[in-house]
Structure 1
Amino acid sequence: MRKAIRYSLIASSVVLGLLWIVFLGLYKAAQQEPAFYQQAMQVTAGEYGEAGEELEQSVLDLHNDVRNPGTWEAVFTEEQINGWLVAEMPDKFPNVLPQGTEEPRVAIGPDAIQVACRFDNGKLNTVISMVLDVDLTTDTNTLAVRVSKLRAGALPVPLKQFLDKISMAARRGNISLHWRQLDGDPIALVTVPVTHDDYAHREVYLDTIELHEGEIRLAGHTSLKDPPLLNASIQLGVSKTLQR
C-alpha cells in the first residue's frame, strides 16, 4: 500500500513537473516579440513626431492630386506610417483599434507587410503579429490583402475572432470588406469607391500598388465624369435628332 502511494506521489510529481515545464514554455513563447517590433519600439514618440506629420502632408497632397484629372502617384514610408501611429492616431482616432490592442507598428518589405501590436485583455499580455500580402485584383479598385502567420508571441492564434474584429472596424469606417480563402489563409477584399463626394464629377482609379523596402507606392488616374444633367441633356438631344 505504501509503495502504491509512493509511486502515485512520484507519478503525480512527474506529471506536475511536465505540466509546469509546458506552461513555462508556452508562456515564454507567448512573450516573444518580432525583431522588427522590438526595433520599432525603441524609437521615441518625439523622434516619430515629424514623420507622422510628413504622412499627413503626403495624404493631403495625394488628396489634392486626385482631385485633378490625369495621373497621380504617392509614396508612404514605413517611418511615416509608424510615426503617425505613434504621434497622431491616439489623439485623432482613439477608438480605431480593437479593445485591448495598442502600440501598433509596421515593417514594409518588397514581398509583404509585417504588422504587430501589443495585446492585453487582462488574462494575456503579449504581442500579436501577422504578415500581410497586398495585391490589386482584376476588379476595379479592389485590393486583396492576404493575412498569414497570425501569432501571439511565437504561438499560432485562431483567426476567426481576430478577423471578426477587423470586419467590425471596417463597418465602423464604412469600408467595403469581404473575406475569401486561399490555401487556408483568409483574404480581405477591400474596394475603394470610384466616385466620392469629395471628388464631384470625377472617377478615381487605383492602377498599381507596389511594396518596396521600407515604403508603399501607389499610382492611379482620375477621369472627368459628366454631370447627370449633362448626360440627360445629351441623351435627349440624341433622341430628338434620331426622331427627325
Structure 2
Amino acid sequence: MRKAIRYLLITTAVVLGLLGIAVLGLYQAAQREPEFYQQAMRESTVDYAQAGNELEQSMLDLHNEVRSIGTWEAVFTEDQINGWLVADMPEKFPNVLPRGTQEPRVAIDTDAIRVACKFDNGKFTTVVSMLLDVDLTTDTNTVAVRVSKLRAGALPVPLKQFLDKIAVAARRGDISLRWRQLDGDPVALVTVPVSHEDYAHREIYVDSIELREGEIHLAGHTEHKHVPLLNASIQLGASNTVQR
C-alpha cells in the first residue's frame, strides 16, 4: 500500500509538473508579439500627428475628387494609417474599438494587410493579430475582406468572439457589413453605396483596390446619375403643363 501511495504521489507530481510546463508554454506563447508589431511600436521616425493629418487630407481630397465626373484615384500609406490610429482615432472616435483593445497597428504587404493590437481584459494581456486579404468582388462596389490567422500571441484563437466585436465596431461606424465563409475563413462583405446625399446627381463606382508594399491604391470613376425614363417623362409632362 505504501508503495502504491508513493507511486500515486510521484505520478501526481509528474502530471502537475507537466501541466505547469504546459501552462508556462501557453503563457509564453500568448506573450509573443508579431515582428511587424514590435517594429511598429518601436518606430520613432514617424511623426504620427503629421501622418494622421496627411491621411485625413487624402480622404478630403478623395471626397472632393469623386464629385467630378470622370476617373479618380487615391493612395493611402501604412504610415498615414498608423499615424491616424495613434493620433486621431482615440480622440475623434473613442468608442469604435472594442473594450480592452488598444494601440492598433497595420502593416501592408502586396498580398495582405497585417493587423495587430494589444488586448487587456484586466486579467490577461496579449497581442492579437490577424491577416486581412482584400479584394473587389463582382458585385458593384462590394469589397471582400477575408479574415485569417487570428492569434493571441502565437496561439490560434476562435474567430467568433472577435468577429462579433468587429460587427459591433462596424455598426458604430455606420458601415454596411455582412459575413460569408470561404474555405473555412470568414469573409466580411463591405458595400460602398453608389449614391449618397453628399453627391447629388452622381453615382460613385469603385473599380480597383490594390495592395502594394506599404500602400493601398484605390481607383474608380464617377458618372451622372441615371434618371429612369418614366421619371423623366413625368418631369417633362409636368413642365409642359406648367407652360400651358
TM-score normalised over the length of structure 1: 0.93
Structure 1 contact 208–218 (Cα < 8 Å) conserved? yes
Query: Residue 122 of structure 1 aligns with which residue?
Result: 122
Query: Residue 241 of structure 2 aligns with which residue?
Result: none
Q: How does 1:30-179 map to 2 (within 5 A)?
A: 30-44=30-44, 47-179=47-179
Structure 2 contact 48–83 (Cα < 8 Å) conserved? yes
Q: Secondary structure at the match of 1:62?
A: helix
Q: Which moved more, 1:10-19 or 1:162-171?
A: 162-171
Q: Runs of 5+ in structure 1 lacking a partner?
A: 240-244
- Alpha-carbon deviation of 1:106? 0.2
Structure 1 runs of 4+ with >2 Å offset: 43-47, 230-239
Query: Residue 194 of structure 1 aligns with which residue?
Result: 194
Query: Residue 219 of structure 2 aligns with which residue?
Result: 219
Deviations 1:24-49 (A, max 9, x none): 00000000000000000012597322
Q: Runs of 5+ in structure 2 lacking a partner?
A: 239-244
- Alpha-carbon deviation of 1:235? 4.6
Structure 2 contact 46–79 (Cα < 8 Å) conserved? no
Structure 1 contact 126–153 (Cα < 8 Å) conserved? yes
Say whether 1:24 aligns with 2:19.
Answer: no
Quote the Cα distance in structure 2 between the aligned partners of 1:148 and 1:136.
Answer: 17
Quote the Cα distance in structure 1 between the aligned partners of 2:222 and 2:75.
Answer: 17
Structure 1 contact 108–216 (Cα < 8 Å) conserved? yes
- Alpha-carbon deviation of 1:175? 1.4
Structure 1 contact 108–114 (Cα < 8 Å) conserved? yes
Quote the Cα distance in structure 1 between the aligned partners of 2:45 and 2:120.
Answer: 21
Quote the Cα distance in structure 2 between the aligned partners of 1:20 and 1:43.
Answer: 36
Q: Secondary structure at the match of 1:218?
A: strand
Structure 1 contact 45–86 (Cα < 8 Å) conserved? no
Structure 1 contact 45–87 (Cα < 8 Å) conserved? no
Quote the Cα distance in structure 1 between the aligned partners of 2:99 and 2:230.
Answer: 48
Quote the Cα distance in structure 2 between the aligned partners of 1:24 and 1:173.
Answer: 39
Question: Which residue type is aligned with residue 17 of structure 1?
Answer: G
Structure 2 contact 146–187 (Cα < 8 Å) conserved? yes
Question: Which residue type is aligned with residue 231 of structure 2?
Answer: A
Query: Residue 14 of structure 2 aligns with which residue?
Result: 14
Q: Secondary structure at the match of 1:67?
A: coil
Q: Which moved more, 1:168-177 or 1:95-104?
A: 168-177
Question: Which residue type is aligned with residue 65 of structure 2?
Answer: D
Q: Secondary structure at the match of 1:216?
A: strand
Q: What's the Cα RMSD here? A: 2.2
- Alpha-carbon deviation of 1:173? 2.1
Between the two proteins, what is the percent identity of the paired residues?
74
Say whether 1:206 aligns with 2:206.
Answer: yes
Structure 2 contact 98–169 (Cα < 8 Å) conserved? yes
Q: Which moved more, 1:30-39 or 1:170-179?
A: 170-179
- Alpha-carbon deviation of 1:174? 2.1
- Alpha-carbon deviation of 1:172? 2.1
Structure 1 contact 82–105 (Cα < 8 Å) conserved? yes
Question: Which residue type is aligned with residue 73 of structure 1?
Answer: E
TM-score normalised over the length of structure 2: 0.93
Deviations 1:63-97 (A, max 9, x none): 11011111100000001000100011111111110
